[in-house]
Structures are given as C-alpha cells and as structure tokens.
Structure 1
C-alpha cells in the first residue's frame, strides 16, 4: 500500500418538484406522509423551519444578527475589500511548485489534482496549490484557494481530534502542511446528507437514472433534487487514477483494498465527522451537504484522518436560512462552493470528453475565490489573512519549508 498522507446569476433558477422534506435540520428523519397531507408545501400554515441555526439566532449572543444570506455576501464591505485583492492576484496564483529543486532534503514529487506532495524522509510535505479541479480535470487557478484549503483543513483537524487522530505534524506556511507518513487506504469515504450534485458520480445523477441501491444504500422512491435523505449515507469510491469509482463494502474487502475491520472503523469515524461538521456548519448558518474523507494507517496501527477536512473543495455547502424556501419554490439552494463553476462548464462544453476546455470567465474565478474566503471566515469566525499580490509565493514557501525541515531533523 502506498506511503502517503494528507493527500447575481451564480445560483441558477431551476424548476423542481419538491416532495416531503424534513423541517428540522437537526433531525435526519423526513416528515411523515400524513403531515405532508395535512400541511401541503404551498400552505401558508405549513410549520416554520425549526433548525439549530434558528435557535442560535434567538440567543442573546446572536439576537440582533441577521441570518446568513447570499445577498449580504454580495454586498458586504468585506467583499469589496477582498475582491480588490483577488482581482489584483489573478496573475499571481500558485499553479505549480518545484520544491524538489529549491528545498534541500526533499526527494520525489507527486502531483495531485490540487496538492503537490514531496517526500521528506520521515515526513511528507503537502503544498496546496490554487489549482481548481472538477470532472477529473483542472479547470482554472483560483487566487488564495490553496491558502484557504490548507487553513480550513487545519482548523477542522484541530476541532475533530476528539473523533479521530490526524497526521498533521506542523504547518510552516499558509499553503503547506507537513504530515506523518502512513499507509493510505485507497478508498475515499464520501458521506452524503442530500440528493444533489451534477457530476457522473453525484447522488442526484445516478438517482434520476433509476438507481435505488447505491454503494449498498437503499434509496426511497419519489425523491427530488436537493431533498434531504432520511439519514446520512456513506458512498465510498475507489481512488482511481483517472476517475473515482463507486464501490460497496463487499467489493472493498474482496478487492483487498481494506480489511473489513479497518473499513468499519473508518466508516464510523467518517459518519461521526460528518454529523459533527453538520452541527458546526448549522451553528454558522450553513448546511454541510456532502463531503469526502480519507484515512491512513500509522506504523503502530492507528487509523489517522488525512488529506483535507470540510473544505469547499471536498464539501458542498448551502445557506441554511434560504434552503427550505428555495426548495419548496423549485429553486437551486444558495451555495457557497464550486458547484456554480461546475454548472458553467457543463453548460458550455462536455467537461468529461472535450480535449480542450474553455477558459473560466474572470468574474466566476473571482467570485469563487471570494466564496472560499467567505466560507473560511464564516466557519472559523476569524479574518482571512490576504497576502500581498506582489509577494513571490514560491520563494516564501521554499524558505518556510526549509526552516521547518531543519527543525524536524
């Protein structure tokens, strides 16, 4: 097993046909059919949304704060400040690194979709770049994206140590994490709370094709896009080189990808991590819709959380305050992730088959960069540190990584 660790019109209006939906985001069970008949979707008497965010907004601490909304996201003073920095940095993205040529002691380089991974002997140096990946392709480079992903993951790693230990050793740079080496399980643990998505492996895509048993999960008939599942489900995939493939527990064990004991331990951790992430997101006005986790095993047999956690790259987030109303009105949820960029490419090309893809519009690139930063600030309740546009990012990383490795040796 490989040695590796840590691996405006933005929301389109689409008509849907909502069915019964849970009105309590803290309770995964949907409304009973009798309640749906008693209070049909268009009824003015339909019970109001009761969620964790609503209760928090009524507390003394948040009583006078308006609920999180994309309208505020589009008009805030902070947005103007950040967007100016983003637009000044469009030509200063970290699209590629070559630390094996600039940092003594680093050996081979592995280039992932977003991360460049360097062998540092007993450790791995993971550099999170600004590359934007979707449809198993690189779509664009997004200013500050690598820093956002790295710092968001570090925040979540720190917050989830009570659920599962992780491989983090240090973070010597805004874009860098140094991690313990371990044997990585070649399975991605994808956890989903809603029927949604636009990629070939998304739950909505396979559901609308008629699939009712997905990765060992039996799905009820009659669901519509963006509806909450009766309970969170785990839909693992193999980490194939070109395209992730959905897989069941039996197939994972039969193919020798993991032992049943390791799979069961990791799957329990994944579901607990997701439930915790949903609670934290809801407390901050967000819905954590789905995400993926990766795990590895340390030499002493400990299962470790690796790669990234609850980032806008690995996760889908919606605005909780508007979700229910938009669902009942057949509109796409207000999202704070990269889904709108995925949808733009699907509308303008075949992102799976076209050899050459169109350039992402600058306004969409800037909007995505802002949303990544907004998500970081919303979840962590801290201000994102914006680097100067003229700062030579690769030189900074080289210096910081070199000093960190000297300290570790």
Structure 2
C-alpha cells in the first residue's frame, strides 16, 4: 500500500522536492536536531496525542464549524460558498492549533521560555495564550509598523503576560520581526524554543506546523461530506507564510478533483514593494533558514513587500506551497487591498461575520471564482481569523459603506 502524501512529504532532510531544508548557523544545528528528534517521537506518542485532543476539545473549542454563506452566495451568484470558521477557534484564529502543540513540545524539551515573531499579532496572541496556559515565559517580536497597525492584538499579548519587543529596522514589518526573533533566540537556545508561526523556517517547522494545522483540513473534509454529501470543488485560503492554507489543504491533498487555491496579496500594484506575491513573482532563494520562492531586489536580497494584511506581507512562502504549485497540485489566486477591503465589508454586512484582513483575501477570491464556475459548484474558504484586530485600521482608512449590498 502506497503512503499518503502527508506520510511521504517532506523527505528526512525536510525537503519538498528542491524546497525546504535547514540553512542555519552552527550554534543552532544541535538545538534544531533535538527539536526534530523530539517531534518525531512525540507525534506518535499516545500521551501527547491525548493531551492535544483534550486541549483542542475542552480549551480551544474544536471542532470549529463550517458555515454556509447563503447571503454572500446569493449576492455573488454562482457557486455555493462555505466558510471553515477558524475565527471561532479560541484566541480568534487558526494559530492556536500549532501554538498549543509547540508549547507542549517546549515543555517536553525542558524549556522555560518560548520566543516567536508575529505580523498581524494572531500568532503572538496564540503563543502568549498557550504560554499562559502551560506556565512558560513568552517573548514576542513584532514590527514597529505592525505594532501601531494591530494595536488591539498588542494589548492582548501584554495582558496575557508576553514581553512584546518591537523590530525597528528595515520596513519594520514581518520579515524584520523574524530577523529580530532569530537574533534573540540564538543565545537562548538552551532554555527557549523558537515557536515559528507558519509553515516556514528551517526543518522541522514547515512539516511540524503543517501537521499541527492539519486538524483544520481533516475536520473540514468530514464536515463538508456530512453537509453536502460530496467534497468541495475548490478549497481556498490566503497565503503569506501559508500555515492556514496548508492546514486546510492537508485534508484534501490526496483528492485530486478538489482544486487547492492559495490567494496571495497583490497589495496596491505589480511593482516590487507594492505587493507580497512570492509564488507569482518570486524566484528560488534561501531566507530565514529555508529554500523556497522568494521576492528579491536587484542585489538578490529579500525585496521590500507590502500588504494591507500584516500577517501575509512576507517576501517568501512556505516551501511546501512552492512545491505544490510547481508540481501543479495547487494554484495561485491574487487579491488586491481594494478587493480585500470590499470582501471585509461584504462578509460583515451580509453574513454578520467580521473577517481578519488576511482571511478577507481568500473571501474576495472566492467571490470572484463563484461567479465564474456556476451554481452547481461548491467552494470552501478557510476563514482563518476574525477581524477584531483590524476594525480600527480599516474604518480609519476605508469608510464604512452606508448601505447593505
């Protein structure tokens, strides 16, 4: 019997085809080898699995439901749109799925502290939540621009007991937060675990975060079959690093009739520095310890990027996304800032659900696709987070529409 895709990818060195691997400084080789060894042991450990199941059911509130977006579907005309409601996961996004597991791993490794980067603040809030639950110290690095933009999440992290450290160099956004977190982690590797917030970074994190997020996909598959008695025609999620997308894709990756579409941020234009569409415009390159598709400047360095969604303005993408796209198993969709804001308001006013700006990219693309593929088709969107964190920023910069659509 042949192995499933998830069982056979990545290879033992963390490669998905030519993408992935671990390009790390010598002081981190041993700590990352220890993390890999412990994870391989833990993922099949009945005690670990039981603890994670308990936490997900009795603390996180899993399984999250799938909602049929009837009003949005009627507005768009065409395919039926369904939403996997990760906004209802405790702390408001999908991020807690891997954060709770990563903090359990940290405890098993004897660590007393967790360190991470965050863009929109959802990963930072989730890790601070998990650290509080399990009694570990928490240090979160966040770009100075994002700290101002995502103020509600910064307050939440601090209330939860995290130490929030601003990244003040470069563009002061997600890439710089990752730089800052790595720099802080190196001298603390003996006592701390760097809990990477997406399916990026050196092996084993792209695999590990995908596995922890796969609960979204497996729940979705079972729920959708129960609701519709068939699989969706398309599964859509936004892609920055790509954890929410790999999470929901995991449940359908062996079902070749289900289209997998990762939606990248086109921001405000096609010029370098105006978007963060790494799969669309990037080329192969190593950044933050892994090889993937990457947006580069004229010197071959990571290019400046931009998106209205702070969680997806990253100049690279998870290596598994680069691989799936290259072999033709996944497709790329594009969404501008303007389209994301439109979807933000439409979902809010038609369905009573305020989405995160990142998730609104996936909703916007689903609205376009629904009109194209017809009423006998179905689309499942990973609504990866709620928009509480974004409301002040959106209203200040994009006035609330006066009437329902």
TM-score interval (norm. to shorter): under 0.3
Higher relative contact order (CA 8 A, sep 6+): 1
Which has more helix, going by share of residues? 2
* Structure with bigger gyration radius: 1
TM-score by length of 2: 0.26
TM-score by length of 1: 0.25
